[in-house]
Amino acid sequence: MDAEREPAGVRAPRRGTARVGVAVGAVGLLLAGCASMPDRGEVREVRASQGVDSQVRVFGVPPADKASPTDIVDGFLEAMTSDDPQLETARKYLTDDAAKNWKPGSTVTVLSAGLDRFPVQGDKESEGHRWKVTGKKLATVDERSAYQPETGGGRYEEYLQLVKFKDQWRIATPPSTLVLSESDFQRIYKPVNKYYFGDGTLVNDPVYVRQRSDPDSRMDPTTQTVQSLLAGPSKWLGPVVTTSFLTGTELAPGTKSLSLDGQNTLRVPLKLDNKAAHVPQSQCQKMATQLLYTIKDLTASRLDRVELQRADGKTTLCWVTRASAAPLANRVPSQVHQYYVDKDFRLVRMSLNVAAEEQQPQEKPESVPGPLATAATFKVGTAAVTYDEKRAAVVSEDGRGLYVVNMTTAGPMPPALLSSKGKLSAPSWDAHGDLWVADLDPQNQGLWRVPGGTGAPQKVDVAGLDDGRITGLKASPDGVRIALLVQKGDGRKNLYVGRIERPERKGDVSPVSVRELRPAAPQMADVMAMSWAPRGRLLVVGKENGGITQARYMLADGSMVAASLPGAAGLTGIGAYEDEAQPVVASSDEDGIVWLPPGAQWRTVAAGGRAPVYPG
């Protein structure tokens, strides 16, 4: 029986190559079977493991005596996917010098499927054997553990030089990184969020850590995550966030495992250099806040308190609780409304109080107060509401004009802030109070920002947009990212996330720009609607290859699908709120406005509505 749980298709046979899988909590060992394979001539594909349970631990099998070059290459590629400490088995396929100097570290090359490998023979056997290893590159995980999708459909190519010593073949030139198929990568690694500060608000920074103990450091997943947090933000997010941890702050030497105690408290011992030795209490509490939100996302247990200690574990530096950390993180929950455009083209709102038993709204929709309530002839097409719910930005039903109205005082409709000869996208507010909208007019297409929702509109440079046209957008609640629906020549819409870069100092006249677009839903062939969701994820409605409409939570780094929602067919709009206790809201041509409360089924709450949004 193979620990890899073979797919239904035929796997390329291998000789002398095996892996041992150990199921956590199981008694027996699962020994991979062996099969014969020609030594030269043909291209063979080493297929990915398929559907492996993340609780199955896989250990490589060392090379057999006088193993052929084929077996050495296959055995090494398999052993790279193992859970061996220090990748000991993989090193047994290398020469002594290569084994000593091979340091793949945390960097990983992720391939979409299996590896093709074949020999490139030398003129003489004494020259050894060169093997070419190729595959389709899906992504890389860098030294900061951040996932970087491959945007160009790149080809992975590596040469392994084999040499013969004392009648044994060994690899002299191993790859500089771990090379894993997508399925092996998802079996071995798991996504976690680190948190940093972006202009006062905590921002999640998604990275990957080992599911179990790291082969090099022997740290458990929690300790790996804390170490990654201390090392600093990912390169992509780094320009727009800061950390409260001073340079030189490290985990206490020898720290391999961190866990909650019986009082749901996590104690983290830190080694501080001379500059960080006397960190102010206010800054120390922000450090603890970063840790609390990072570990709260990681553990299934309830984390109530984080305590930072000196390296000796005897002296407490500071501590925070969930309640005291919330204001520091700017994550104080507030009661909000949910908004949509009704069948009469009015902007209306509903209370988000959900009855515990009926899972139905407790209040009927009401027109938003202010000028929109009295402007009888004005028709709303799409809308966005500020986080404090005091102002609304609306695009007229014909898509030509953008208006900002006050919802706290009455009065006439103000003039349009921005007009288009074509059509404007639905607007979006960011955490800074700026308003974003896209102009779809072919002659003037682009992304626009209205500073404070009142200033003169500014066209925003979007690096990497190329020939794409922005058709939809949503600024993230943390204010440092923006999700863009981009349509290219084939008519399909793809989802990208860009980094919002603002002037570093007050008074700096440098324009705001969007940088480093990266695909956020590469699994989707065509995206119809999207919204930001809790923990920095995206909730996406789109068609996958094959044409089936799905509603899925996606990780914003484009790495994987987090979860899916039932019954997505027919959805035309969708919205989620930062508070996971609030329902997902969506619009359907057939049912109008529908809600999906946690743990329940879709419910129709308003017939004939569309364009549902939460504040933001």
| pLDDT higher than threshold 50 for residue 355 | no
Residue 608, pLDDT score: 87
Closest alpha carbon to 317 in 329, 307, 328: 307
pLDDT in tens, 297-349: 888 789 999 999 999 888 999 999 999 999 998 865 566 899 999 999 999 99
What lies within 8 Å, CB to CB, of 148 at 6+ separation is: 139, 140, 141, 142, 236, 518, 557
Q: What percent of the chain has pLDDT over 70?
A: 85
Q: With respect to residue 560, please indicate whether it lies within any of the assigned structural domains.
A: yes
Last residue of a domain, one of 285, 301, 329: 329
Would you say 514 and 549 are in contact if contact means Cβ atoms under 8 Å apart? no
One domain for residues 415 and 445: yes
3-state secondary structure 252-276: CCCCCCCCECCCCEEEEEEECCCCC
Would you say 489 and 214 are in contact if contact means Cβ atoms under 8 Å apart? no
One domain for residues 292 and 342: no
Total number of domains in the chain: 2
Beta bridge partners of 391: 406
At residue 475, φ and ψ (nearest 5 deg) are -75, 145
Beta bridge partners of 401: 419
One domain for residues 463 and 562: yes
One domain for residues 443 and 468: yes
One domain for residues 238 and 325: yes
Q: With respect to residue 146, please indicate whether it lies within any of the assigned structural domains.
A: no
**Measured distance CA(416)–CA(401) in Å, rounded:** 6
| Confidence class for position 2, pLDDT limits 50, 70, 90 | very low
Average pLDDT, the chain: 85
One domain for residues 279 and 364: no
One domain for residues 321 and 424: no
Span of 396-405, 407-416, 501-510, 575-584 with lowest mean pLDDT: 501-510
Q: With respect to residue 364, please indicate whether it lies within any of the assigned structural domains.
A: yes
Q: Which residue has the higher pLDDT, 343 or 53?
A: 343
pLDDT in tens, 122-169: 545 545 688 999 999 999 999 889 998 887 668 999 999 999 988 999
Would you say 339 and 349 are in contact if contact means Cβ atoms under 8 Å apart? yes
| pLDDT higher than threshold 90 for residue 498 | yes
One domain for residues 342 and 320: no
**Measured distance CA(221)–CA(207) in Å, rounded:** 12
Instruction: List the Cα angle 559/562/564 in 5-degree steps.
Output: 130
**Measured distance CA(447)–CA(437) in Å, rounded:** 6
Q: With respect to residue 46, please indicate whether it lies within any of the assigned structural domains.
A: no
* CATH number for position 549: 2.120.10.30
Domain housing 345: 337-613
One domain for residues 280 and 368: no
| Confidence class for position 562, pLDDT limits 50, 70, 90 | confident
One domain for residues 412 and 269: no
Q: With respect to residue 39, please indicate whether it lies within any of the assigned structural domains.
A: no
Q: Which residue has the higher pLDDT, 149 or 451?
A: 451
- pTM value is 0.86
pLDDT, average across residues 363-376? 88
One domain for residues 468 and 571: yes
pLDDT in tens, 72-120: 999 999 999 887 778 899 999 999 999 999 988 778 999 988 788 888 8
Last residue of a domain, one of 329, 358, 380: 329
What lies within 8 Å, CB to CB, of 274 at 6+ separation is: none
Ramachandran quadrant class, 254 (left: phi over 0; alpha: psi -120 to 50; beta: rest): left
Residue 362, pLDDT score: 53
Last residue of a domain, one of 329, 358, 385: 329
What lies within 8 Å, CB to CB, of 496 at 6+ separation is: 483, 484, 486, 517, 518, 519, 520
Q: With respect to residue 72, please indicate whether it lies within any of the assigned structural domains.
A: no
